[in-house]
Amino acid sequence: ASHCLLINDSRAPQARQRLELLVRSSDGFEIAEMDLRLRGPGQVLGTRQSGLPDLALASLTDDGDVLDLARQEASAILEEDPDLQRHPGLERALSEQRQAEAARLN
């Protein structure tokens, strides 16, 4: 048998919610989803630390089906057109995003 001691000195409501979830569940997916809901995608993806904005167009927990479909579509586009020559608007948007991201990190 294994044991886990949960020690917390925070009075924040979110800290208590996290501890209560850990006490009642051993389902890693449920724990990860609750953590995502409590912290938000920006902190989960590390964007708060690097100054990138939070994901504002979709919820990683509520819009999983739409996000999965978007990922599949993006993969299909890149497989058929890896240099995005037939998708100049997309290529331009990605290039601008990479440049802005590089500027923020430097």
On the CB side of 62, CA atoms within 13 Å amount to 7
| 45-92 residue pLDDT tens | 555 544 445 545 667 677 788 888 988 999 999 999 999 999 999 999
DSSP 7-29: ------HHHHHHHHHHHH---HH
Q: Strand, coil or helix: what is 65? A: helix
Distance of CA 89 to the CA centre of its chain: 25
Overall domain count for the chain: 1
Residue range of the domain that includes 97 = 58-105
Any domain includes 33: no
| In-domain check, residue 96 | yes
Q: pTM of the entire structure?
A: 0.45
